[in-house]
Chain A
Amino acid sequence: MPKLTMVQAINLGLDQEMQRDDRVIVLGEDVGRDGGVFRVTEGLLAKYGETRVIDTPLAESAILGASIGMALAGLRPVAEMQFCGFSYLMLPQLEGHASRFRARSQGQLTCPLVVRVPYGGGVRALEHHSEARETLYAHLPGVKVVVPSAPRNARALIVAAVRDPDPVVFLEPKRSYRAFREEVPEEEEVMPIGCAIVVRPGTDLTAISWGAMMRPTLQAVEELQKQRKASIELIDLLSLAPLDVETIGASVAKTGRCVVVQESPRSFGPAAELIAVINDRALLQLEAPVKRVTGYDVVTPYFGREHQYIASPARIRRALEETLDF
Chain B
Amino acid sequence: MPRKEIETFAVSWLQVLDETGTADPELDPKLPQETLLELQRAMVRARESDARMLRLQRQGRIGTFGPCTGQEASVCGPALAMAPQDWFAGSFRELGGRQIRGEPLTNTFLFHNGFEEGNVQPAGVTRLLPVSIIVGAQTLHAVGAAYAMKYRGEKACVVTFLGDGATSEGDFHEALNFASVWQVPVVFIVQNNQWAISIPRRKQMHCRTIAQRAIAYDMPGLQVDGNDVLGMYVAAREALDRARGGGGPTLIEAVTYRLMMHTTADDPSKYRQDDEVQQWWDRDPLVRFRKYLEARGLWDAQRQALLEAEVKREIDQAVQEFEARRDFPPDAPFDHVFGTRHALIEEQRAQFLADLRLGEGGHA
Question: Roughly how many angstroms separate A165 CA and B158 CA in the complex, as a whole number?
Answer: 23
Asked if B121 and A96 sit within 8 Å, CB to CB, the answer is no
Mask of B117-141 contacts with A, CB within 8 angstroms, 1/0: 1011100000001101010010111
Our pick among B116, B143, B337 for the contact of A65 (Cβ within 8 Å) is: B143
- Give residues of chain B (307-364) contacting chain A, Cβ–Cβ below 8 Å: 332-333, 335-340, 342-345, 347
Asked if A69 and B134 sit within 8 Å, CB to CB, the answer is no
Our pick among B149, B171, B181 for the contact of A61 (Cβ within 8 Å) is: B171
Decide yes or no whether A72 CB sits under 8 A from chain B.
Answer: yes
Among B152, B175, B333, B342, find the residue whose CB has the most chain A CB atoms closer than 10 A. B342
Taking the nearest CB of chain A, how far is it from the CB of B163, in angstroms? 17
Our pick among A51, A72, A242 for the contact of B345 (Cβ within 8 Å) is: A242
- Give residues of chain A (169-219) contacting chain B, Cβ–Cβ below 8 Å: 193-194
Which B residues are in CB contact (< 8 Å) with A324? none
Interface range on chain A: under 10, 10 to 19, 20 to 34, or 35 or more? 35 or more
Asked if A65 and B151 sit within 8 Å, CB to CB, the answer is no
Asked if A104 and B130 sit within 8 Å, CB to CB, the answer is yes
Decide yes or no whether B144 CB sits under 8 A from chain A.
Answer: yes
Which B residues are in CB contact (< 8 Å) with A64? 140
Asked if A66 and B147 sit within 8 Å, CB to CB, the answer is yes
Asked if A102 and B137 sit within 8 Å, CB to CB, the answer is no
Question: Roughly how many angstroms separate A96 CA and B145 CA in the complex, as a whole number?
Answer: 17
Asked if A105 and B140 sit within 8 Å, CB to CB, the answer is no
Decide yes or no whether A286 CB sits under 8 A from chain B.
Answer: no
Known interface pairs A61-B170, A61-B171; A97-B120 also in contact (CB < 8 Å): no
Known interface pairs A65-B137, A104-B116; A73-B338 also in contact (CB < 8 Å): no
Mask of B82-110 contacts with A, CB within 8 angstroms, 1/0: 00000101000000000000000000000
Taking the nearest CB of chain B, how far is it from the CB of A298, in angstroms? 30
Decide yes or no whether A68 CB sits under 8 A from chain B.
Answer: yes
Taking the nearest CB of chain A, how far is it from the CB of B143, in angstroms? 5
Asked if A107 and B339 sit within 8 Å, CB to CB, the answer is yes
Taking the nearest CB of chain B, how far is it from the CB of A290, in angstroms? 19
Asked if A246 and B343 sit within 8 Å, CB to CB, the answer is yes
Decide yes or no whether B177 CB sits under 8 A from chain A.
Answer: yes
Taking the nearest CB of chain A, how far is it from the CB of B78, in angstroms? 19
Decide yes or no whether A264 CB sits under 8 A from chain B.
Answer: no
Which A residue sits closest to B339, measured CB to CB? A165
Decide yes or no whether A243 CB sits under 8 A from chain B.
Answer: yes
Question: Roughly how many angstroms separate A92 CA and B141 CA in the complex, as a whole number?
Answer: 13
Known interface pairs A93-B137, A104-B130, A106-B117; A166-B339 also in contact (CB < 8 Å): yes
Binding site for A on B (CB under 8 A): 87, 89, 116-117, 119-121, 129-130, 132, 134, 137, 139-149, 151-152, 158, 170-171, 174-175, 177-178, 181, 332-333, 335-340, 342-345, 347
Binding site for B on A (CB under 8 A): 25, 51, 56-57, 59, 61-62, 64-75, 77, 92-93, 96-97, 101-110, 112, 141-142, 144, 164-166, 193-194, 242-246
Other 20 A-B pairs with CB < 8 A, given A69-B140, A194-B344: A25-B151, A56-B178, A62-B140, A62-B171, A67-B144, A69-B144, A70-B145, A72-B129, A73-B149, A92-B171, A102-B339, A103-B333, A108-B119, A141-B337, A142-B338, A164-B339, A166-B340, A242-B342, A242-B343, A246-B343
